Amino acid sequence: MKRKKNTSFGKKVAIISVFLIFVIIVALGVYQNRAQPRQPKSAAEYFEIFDATVNDGEFRDPPVLEGGGYNTSRILIIYDVEFQLKAKGGDANSVIVKAWGKVEPQIFDSIPKNQWVDVHFQAARPLGYLSEKVDGKGFPLEIETRSEEAEGTITIYL
């Protein structure tokens, strides 16, 4: 009787080799994706600010410039402002909203897509001094907004 060659051993080695190569390729792909830093999106594209209201503020006349002239822009001094912040670009996680250096930032764990939160800044000392823009849009207020998904400054006009 002739003995048959054991070809099943060769097949097993080939299958295990293909499987190991596949696992290595997948592992390298996952590692490479995690190693690449993700560029955050622009805050102005990812978030929307609406219903901005100055609850406490005062107008001041323009200061006299050197040489006797006047600055044509009035000044708005803000003590208390609030607005709604909407996550229009997707879910926003670990959101930090800052308006001025003198006030604690507002922190939100998450804002679901197309939902909004109330943001309120209030202080005993002036939060900001805003000069009116020449183009008539109003008083510009820059809001710094950061999250895991987006970061940047959004300018609103009061």
**pLDDT(115) > 90:** yes
> Do residues 84 and 51 touch, judged by C-beta distance below 8 A?
yes
Domain encompassing residue 120: 41-157
CA atoms of 102 and 107, how far apart (whole Å): 15
Q: What are the start-end ranges of the H helices in the chain?
A: 8-35, 43-46
Q: How many domains does the chain have?
A: 1
Inside any domain, residue 24: no
Inside any domain, residue 73: yes
- pTM across the whole model: 0.66
Tokens 């009061």, residue? 158
Inside any domain, residue 13: no
Inside any domain, residue 49: yes
Inside any domain, residue 129: yes
pLDDT of residue 48: 92
Of residues 30 and 3, the one with the higher pLDDT is 30
pLDDT tens string 19-56 = 889 888 888 887 776 665 677 888 999 999 999 888 88
Put the strands of the sheet holding 140-146 in their side by side order: 41-42, 150-157, 140-146, 92-98, 106-111
pLDDT class of 3 with cuts at 50, 70, 90:
low
Tokens read off for 54: 């100055």
